[in-house]
Amino acid sequence: MTAGPPEITLRIRRSEPGITRQRWESFGVPLADRTTVLDALFWIVRERDRSLAFRCACRAAMCGSCAMVVNGDERLACKTPLAALATPIRVEPLRSLPVIKDLVVDMDTFFDRYQAVEPVVRTDERLAEPAIISPVDPTRLEIGAGLDCISCGACYSACPMVAADPDYLGPAALLRAFNVLSDQREGPEAAEARVAVFGRHGIWRCHGIQECTRVCPKALDPALAIRRLKRRAWSGEFGS
């Protein structure tokens, strides 16, 4: 009798709020060399339960759709290998966002936070010519370090202050706020317009817990951006 491929157990938190009770469901999934959590979820849908709901798109850690909580930590399912995880592998939806079904959460609140910080550069209307910005300008480099955000929601889910304060803007929006507020093409009024960033539910709700930086799948540092915003609030300028 030939042994099948090795199996690994996934415990998935299932729920349809208002329809079914929340429950944990276990699935034995065949484990190949580089099987990821997303591979496992696809296998489950094909071979075991067509009703399992999850989001994904690019499968290449570029789109941010498949962020979820794996063994207690926010991860992108498409780039989380099963073999490196302690079993049974617990898979849950992102935290602090309403669950629609199983691993799918309602991202509206998350994107509302972006709207609250005016996430696009407000070019100073007095500028007649294009801004001249050296690619190695220190401020430009600081902005560049935060531009790779894919809005996956991992940092938002991981932040205990997001959990504590429903109105807190959260690390992703504040990282974006830092990027636009640092931009030389903005006029001084731009900071005045983003009062929420410097308010009670903005940077002052951050206490340096660093969970955002710890879980970011793109290795960004929202905590650092928020510290820089605090220094900006104090000194009126950005330090590096």
Partner 1 sequence: MSAAAPTSTAYRRRASRPAGSRLELWSWYYFRVSGVLLLLLAFGHLAIMHIVNNVDAIDYHFVAERWRTVGWRVYDWLLLFLALTHGQNGLRIIIDDYLHRAPWRAAAHTANWFLLALFLLLGTATIVTFQPPPAR
Partner 2 sequence: MRWRGREAYWAWLLHRLSGVGVMLFLFLHVLDTSLVLFGPEAYEMFVFLYRAPLFRVLEVGLAAAVLFHGLNGVRIIVIDFVAEAARIQRPLMYATWTAFLALFLPAAFFMLRPVFPALGLLR
The residues binding partner 1 (CB under 8 A) are 124, 126-134, 137-140, 161, 164-167, 181, 184-185, 188, 191-192, 194-195, 197-200, 202, 204-205, 207, 230, 232-237
Q: Residue 12 forms beta bridges with which residues?
A: 25, 91
Q: Which is nearer to partner 2, 114 or 238 (CB)?
A: 238
Distance CA 19, CA 191 (A): 45
> Judged by CB under 8 A, does residue 10 bind partner 2?
no
Label residues 112-121 b or e (16+ Cβ within 10 Å = b). Answer: ebbebbbbee
Do residues 177 and 229 make contact, with C-beta atoms less than 8 angstroms apart? Answer: yes
> Judged by CB under 8 A, does residue 160 bind partner 2?
yes
- At 66, the amino acid letter reads C
> Judged by CB under 8 A, does residue 240 bind partner 2?
yes
Least Å distance, CB 157 to partner 1, is: 18
Quick check: helix, strand or coil at residue 162? helix
> Judged by CB under 8 A, does residue 209 bind partner 2?
yes
Q: Which is nearer to partner 2, 41 or 149 (CB)?
A: 149
> Judged by CB under 8 A, does residue 48 bind partner 2?
no
Binding partner selected for residue 209 from partner 1, partner 2, none, CB under the kind-specific 5 to 8 Å limit: partner 2
Least Å distance, CB 216 to partner 2, is: 7
Cα 61–151–133 angle (5° rounding)? Answer: 100
Site for partner 2 in 218-237 (CB under 8 A): 219, 221, 224, 227, 230-231
Ramachandran angles phi, psi of 222, nearest 5°:
-60, -35
Quick count: other Cβ atoms within 10 Å of Cβ 138? 11
What is the length of the chain?
Answer: 240
Least Å distance, CB 164 to partner 1, is: 5
Distance CA 183, CA 144 (A): 11
> Judged by CB under 8 A, does residue 45 bind partner 2?
no
For partner 2, the binding residues (CB under 8 A) are: 160, 207-211, 213-214, 216, 219, 221, 224, 227, 230-231, 239-240
